[in-house]
Amino acid sequence: MHPNPDPDGKAFVSHAPGRWPEATPAEWNDWKWQLRNRVSSLEQLERHLVLTAEERAGTILTGSKLALGITPHFFNLIERDNPQCPIRRQVMPQIGETVVDPFEMADPVGEDAHMPVEGLVHRYPDRVLFLVTDRCASYCRYCTRSRVVSGAGEQELHTNFEGIFAYLEKHTEVRDVLLSGGDALLFSDDKLDHLLTRLRAIRHIEFVRIGTRVPIFLPQRITPELCRMLQKHHPLWMSVHTNHPRELTSEVRDALGRLADHGIPLGNQSVLLAGVNDNVETMRTLVQKLLLCRVRPYYVYQCDLIKGSAHLRTSVRRGLEIMDALRGHTTGYAVPQYVIDAPGGGGKIPINPGYILYHDSEKVVVRNYEGKIFEYPETGPTEGVRPAAAEGFEDYLFS
């Protein structure tokens, strides 16, 4: 079977079992089988793909930076003879990962400096990031946390679970907890249920989010049993991570549908990547296809300044051009917020095309998606003047 009958990713194509014809349907649909059979060695890659010299050299060095690991489901999306395949570029090691630009960092968004307890990042006033594991279903080569993820990086992740629960109980300003890592959905149902139950027991935590790539890398994990367990812990939100429309296979669509059917609001976070999604047509197809999966495009991240990621980064100027080409040219629900996660720990900063052309005390001059110019008066309530429409309204309301 040709692994990519839908090169533009506009259809929901199934690739099962693809390069694993010996797998039975029961095996293929077992998420633990998928994990046991991940592609994790040079020999496995060369069995299925024609590697470039850069890919081969990068794979040999994966034990010193970020491990190689690709689920069979996701591996089936990779084109055999095309090193520029947008799926391949995301997960295939490159020798370019050993080249470090002067402004690149091991911890590009300053998480370690905002970690009051091992495994907990408290950077924003009312929300925290809870790093529950260092393992993922597959490993993205642009991973912001490659220093700790996969067990092959510069650091080890030591999460102090009891210390984190004690910290959260004490800090009543925290109302929002994001579970990430690594990927929390690799936990067993029981272990994840226990973790969510502990968080739900802290009264001032209003809702919990899970950041995950599992529905994309490993849709078999999204079982009805998992969904029923998650449903017990509402309000529970989920941010998935999809970069290219080809990732949205029929299996992924159905997995996302199961989550949505159990009341879990879904948002998507993409990373702007060179040769993957840094063009208007790909990004427009992606965001529109996400809506068909009942997923709201949430963020597009400028690629963090992680060590060895220069070959995957594109310019901010290009990102702004793509955002400008989405606004007004597709439904507003499909337009994500473009952000830079400020280097060193400044948090997410929205980056928008220049819609405001002039602004003073009398007017604001703006442009629309067609480039047409409009003026809007800079006015507000006039002090001491009561709007005529409000006269007698309280009498009506409370009579």
Please identify every residue annotated as catalytic.
123-124, 127, 136, 140, 143, 145, 304, 341, 348
Are 217 and 246 contacting, i.e. CB atoms less than 8 angstroms apart? no
Query: Which residues 6+ apart lie within 8 Å of 201 measured at CB?
Result: none
Write out the two tokens for 289: 């296809």
Among 367, 365, 368, 364, smallest CA distance to 379 is for: 364
| CA end-to-end span of the chain | 73
- Segments in 155-249 forming alpha helices (H): 161-170, 189-200, 214-217, 224-231
Q: DSSP letter at 382?
A: P
DSSP 87-146: HHHHHS--GGGG---TT-BSSTT--GGG-SBTTEEEEETTEEEEE--S--SS--TT-TTT
For residue 250, the SS3 value is: helix
Residue with tokens 């970020």: 66
Beta pairing partners, 235: none
CA distances from 10 to 5, 196, 277, 387 (A): 11, 36, 14, 52
Residue with tokens 């549908």: 257
Q: Give the pairing of strands 373-377 and 356-359.
A: unpaired
| HSE-up of residue 21 (Cα within 13 Å, Cβ side) | 4
